[in-house]
Amino acid sequence: MYKVIEELVENIENKIIKYRRDFHKYPEYGWTEFRTASLIARRLVELGYEIKLGKEVVNSEFRMDVPSDEDLEKNYKRALEQGGDKELIPFLKGGFTGVVGILKNGEGPKVALRFDIDGLKIQESEEEEHFPKKKGFSSVNKNVMHACGHDGHAAVGLGVAEVLRESKDEMKGTILLIFQPAEEGVRGAKAMVKAKVLDNVEYIISGHIGLKAEKSGQIMCGASGFLATSKIDVVFKGKASHAGAMPERGKNALLSASSAVLNLHSIPRNSKGMTRINVGELVCGKGRNIIPESAYMKIETRGETKELNEYMKKYAERILHNSAEMHGTKVNIEYVGEAESAQSDYTMIKMVKKIADKIYEPDLICEEKVNFGASEDISYMINEVQSNGGKAVYIMFGSDLKAAHHSSNFDFNEKDLKNIIKIYSALVCNILKRKGSY
C-alpha cells in the first residue's frame, strides 16, 4: 500500500510546487485569505470532496483580532483581482476564510488533518539570491509574505487531498482536510473548533515545515511543549503639548511605553519552565516637536504551561498599569489572541515513526517528544480531540532553511514537500485501513 502512495506523490510533485509558488506569490494575512481559501475550496470540489466553508466552519464569536471592515473589503477586492474563485469567494466575505474538505467512505473512524494557510505582514526580501525572487514567484502583495511556510502547508494539503482521493477505496471512514486561517497570532483555530468542525473526530494530525528540524531529510515524529500564549494589544493615552514651549503640560505616552518595554523584558525568568515576552510592535507620536499623546503596542507572552503564561500576563499587566500611571497616562489592555499548551500522543508518535522508517535515514528520525518551544493554535484542536478521548500528533518536518522563520529571507526547500505528503497520506491510510499493511 505504501508503495502506491509513494508513486502517487512522485507523480504530482510538480503540481504541488506550482501550488506552493502560486500561494507564495499571493500571500494573504490572517482573515484575508480570500484568494487562497477560495482556490483551495475550488480544487477540493474538483477532486470530489464535499466542502464546507465560511461561516459554517468559522464561528464569528470566537475569531480574534479581525482586521477592520475597510481592510477586509480592500483585501476581498484584491483577492478577486488576483484570481480568487468568483463563485466560492462570496462565502468567505467578511473574513470567514476557513475551508473544510470531507471525504466519506463508509463506516470507520474520523480523521482530521489541519493545514494553516495565512501569510505574515513582512516585506519579502528583494535580494537577488533569494530563491522566490530568482524564480519569479516573490510576493506581489506589498508588506505581506509567506515567511513561515504556510504556502507549503496549503500546497501539501492539496497534495494530500489528491493522494487520498486516489487511495479512497483502500480506506474505511471519514477524512477531514481542515484549511485554517489566521494561525499567525494564534487567532483562527478556536473559531473553527467552536464551529464544531472537530465533532466526533478521533484523530487530529498536523505539523510544520522547518521548525526545529532545520535540515532536509530530518523528521521529528511528535512535538510537545507547545507554549501557552497570550496576544495583547496595548494603548497608552497621554496628552500632547508643544515639546519646546510647554513640555510640562504634556503627558508623555512614549515615556510610559519605553519604560514598559524595558521592564517587560526584565520580568524575572521562572524556574518552573520556559517563558517568553515580546513587544513586537510599537507606534507612537504624531510629530517631532509634540509630546507623544498615544502609543500602540503589540505584545505577546508565552509559557511552557498555562500557569507560566499566567505569571507573565499578570506581571506584564502590573508593569503596563504602573508605566502608565508613572507618567500620568492611561492604559488600555486588550487580549487579541490565545493558545494553550498541548501534547502529542505516544501511540501516534510511534505510528509516525514506523512510516518515517520507510522514507528517512534512521539517524535523522527523532522519536522522542520534541519541545516545540513556540505557540500554535493547533493546541486548541489537539486539546479538543484529546478531551473527547481521541488522539493527536504534531510532526516537525525537516527542511534546509535559508533564513529564520518570520524573516524576510525565509525560504525552505521545496523538494521536502513530497515527503510530508507521503507521511500524512500514509498515516491516514494506516488509521483507516486496519487489516492492510504497507
In terms of Cβ atoms closer than 10 Å to its own Cβ (0-12, 13-18, 19+), residue 184 is buried
Which one among 61, 70, 128, 271 touches its own copies, defined by CB under 8 A?
A: 271
**Nearest approach, Cβ of residue 380 and its own copies (Å):** 17
150 closest CA partner among 68, 62, 72, 37: 37
- Is residue 153 within the footprint of its own copies (CB under 8 A)? no
Indicate the DSSP class of residue 60.
Answer: G
Which one among 24, 25, 146, 327 touches its own copies, defined by CB under 8 A?
A: 327
- Is residue 250 within the footprint of its own copies (CB under 8 A)? yes
**Nearest approach, Cβ of residue 391 and its own copies (Å):** 25
266 closest CA partner among 329, 322, 323, 316: 316
**Nearest approach, Cβ of residue 315 and its own copies (Å):** 8
| Grid cell of 418 as nine digits | 513530497
Q: Could you tell me which residues come within 8 angstroms of residue 151 by beta carbon, excluding any fewer than 6 positions away?
A: 20, 21, 23, 24, 27, 119
Window 113-142: contact mask with its own copies (x via CB under 8 A)? -------xxxx-------------------
Helix (H, G, I), strand (E, B) or coil at 420: helix
Which one among 4, 102, 282, 359 touches its own copies, defined by CB under 8 A?
A: 282
364 closest CA partner among 438, 426, 416, 421: 416
Nearer to its own copies, 18 or 286 (CB): 286
**Nearest approach, Cβ of residue 220 and its own copies (Å):** 13
Mark residue 390 as left, alpha or beta (left: phi above 0; alpha: psi -120 to 50; beta: remaining).
Answer: beta
> Is residue 207 within 8 Å of residue 420, measured between CB atoms?
yes
Which one among 107, 128, 142, 268 touches its own copies, defined by CB under 8 A?
A: 268
- Is residue 333 within the footprint of its own copies (CB under 8 A)? no
Nearer to its own copies, 173 or 303 (CB): 303
**Nearest approach, Cβ of residue 230 and its own copies (Å):** 11
> Is residue 177 within 8 Å of residue 113, measured between CB atoms?
yes
Distance of CA 347 to the CA centre of its chain: 25
Which one among 60, 196, 262, 415 touches its own copies, defined by CB under 8 A?
A: 262
Footprint of its own copies on residues 173-202 (CB under 8 A)? 184-185
**Nearest approach, Cβ of residue 382 and its own copies (Å):** 17
Mark residue 393 as left, alpha or beta (left: phi above 0; alpha: psi -120 to 50; beta: remaining).
Answer: beta
- Is residue 341 within the footprint of its own copies (CB under 8 A)? no
256 closest CA partner among 299, 298, 289, 293: 293
- Is residue 299 within the footprint of its own copies (CB under 8 A)? yes
Nearer to its own copies, 167 or 379 (CB): 379
Which one among 265, 306, 350, 415 touches its own copies, defined by CB under 8 A?
A: 265
> Is residue 401 within 8 Å of residue 210, measured between CB atoms?
yes
Which one among 13, 71, 374, 402 touches its own copies, defined by CB under 8 A?
A: 374
**Nearest approach, Cβ of residue 226 and its own copies (Å):** 10
Nearer to its own copies, 167 or 252 (CB): 252
- Is residue 246 within the footprint of its own copies (CB under 8 A)? yes
> Is residue 62 within 8 Å of residue 191, measured between CB atoms?
yes
**Nearest approach, Cβ of residue 212 and its own copies (Å):** 8
Q: Among the candidate windows 75-83, 87-95, 290-298, 423-431, which touches its own copies by CB under 8 A? A: 290-298
Distance of CA 372 to the CA centre of its chain: 14
Q: Among the candidate windows 86-94, 226-234, 382-390, 424-432, which touches its own copies by CB under 8 A? A: 226-234
> Is residue 301 within 8 Å of residue 284, measured between CB atoms?
no
b/e burial code for range 148-175 (CB count within 10 A of at least 16 → b): bbbbbbbbbbbbbbbbbbbbeebbebbb
